[in-house]
């Protein structure tokens, strides 16, 4: 089954404790991205990757890191989480960045930073 | 630059009545437009998309949307709401430069 898998689904942590949210897709997609969803703001892009080893900042990259060492995986790293990073996070993939393409979303990771 | 505005943050309808979720956009190019649905505790799923072919687009579960360039709108409609339609809906505009999500419209369906 074609899917985007995120782990964990729920995470509670404390300020300053490094964490990683994993994302994996099995559709051989080139383009992957991370979003955060906050009430009244819709989804805002954090980082994206056009292909392996190529990543770039989205609209709200501060406090986040990513890497793309292999096509299927695109982990999101919070080196020193802060309470303002409490949010719902989604990973998405699509065949490429073509504007016609549908994005395929993971089920989301709900993060609380205390 | 581009932007997308969902005109209602919350819409409430009775089961069996029509649904209208409104979306206006701006774009410097000829954009692609999408509607995604998010059910509770789920990721976003594509409902339908417009990519410069027919202006009336049919999607899954009986939803459709009409692209109106003169009004820069892409409103989502359904003739008869079902309880399972209760969810959050996102309008998305995509062009050569970027992709933008609307803030979302929460649809409530009353029995």
Q: What is the pLDDT of residues B3-19, one digit of tens each?
A: 899 999 999 999 999 99
More confident position, B31 or A87: A87
The tokens of B57 are what? 């687009």
Give the DSSP letter string of B55-111: SEEE-GGG-EEEEETTTTEEEEEESS--GGG-EEEEEEEE-SS-EEE---EEEEEE-
The tokens of A113 are what? 């930073």
Above 70 in pLDDT, residue B72?
yes
pLDDT, residue B86, reads 97
- CB contact set of A62 (below 8 Å; sequence gap of 6+): none
Residue of A nearest to B34 (CA): A102
My answer on whether omega of the bond before A8 falls inside 30° of 0, hence cis, is: yes
User: Which of A41, A102, A5, A100 has the alpha carbon at shortest distance from B60?
Assistant: A102
> Which of B49, B95, B104 is nearest residue A102 as measured by Cβ atoms?
B49
C-beta of residue B108 within 8 angstroms of C-beta of residue B12: yes
pLDDT, residue A33, reads 95
3-state SS, residue A84? helix
The secondary structure of residue B17, as a DSSP letter, is S
> Which of B9, B43, B101 is nearest residue A106 as measured by Cβ atoms?
B43
Put simply, the answer to whether B44 touches A102 (Cβ < 8 Å) is: no
What is the average per-residue pLDDT within A55-74? Answer: 96
């Amino acid at each position: 089954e074609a899917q985007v898998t995120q782990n964990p689904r729920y995470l509670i942590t404390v300020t300053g404790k490094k964490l990683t949210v994993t994302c994996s897709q099995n559709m051989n997609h080139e383009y992957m991205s991370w979003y955060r969803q906050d009430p009244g703001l819709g989804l805002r892009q954090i980082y994206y990757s056009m292909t392996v080893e190529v990543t770039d900042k989205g609209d709200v990259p501060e406090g986040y890191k990513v890497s793309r060492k292999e096509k299927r995986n695109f982990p999101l790293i919070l080196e020193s989480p802060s309470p303002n990073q409490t949010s719902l996070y989604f990973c998405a993939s699509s065949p490429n960045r073509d504007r016609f393409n549908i994005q395929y979303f993971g089920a989301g990771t709900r993060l609380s930073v205390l | 630059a581009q932007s997308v505005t969902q005109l209602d943050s919350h819409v409430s309808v009775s089961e069996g009545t029509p649904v209208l979720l409104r979306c206006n956009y701006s774009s410097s190019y000829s954009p692609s437009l999408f509607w995604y649905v998010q059910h509770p505790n789920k990721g976003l799923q594509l409902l339908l998309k417009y990519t410069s072919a027919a202006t009336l687009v049919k999607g899954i579960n009986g939803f459709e949307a009409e692209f109106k360039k003169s009004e820069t709108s892409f409103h989502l409609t359904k003739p008869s709401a079902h309880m399972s339609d209760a969810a959050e809906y996102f309008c998305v505009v995509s062009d050569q430069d970027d992709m933008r999500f609307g803030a979302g419209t929460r649809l409530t369906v009353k029995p």
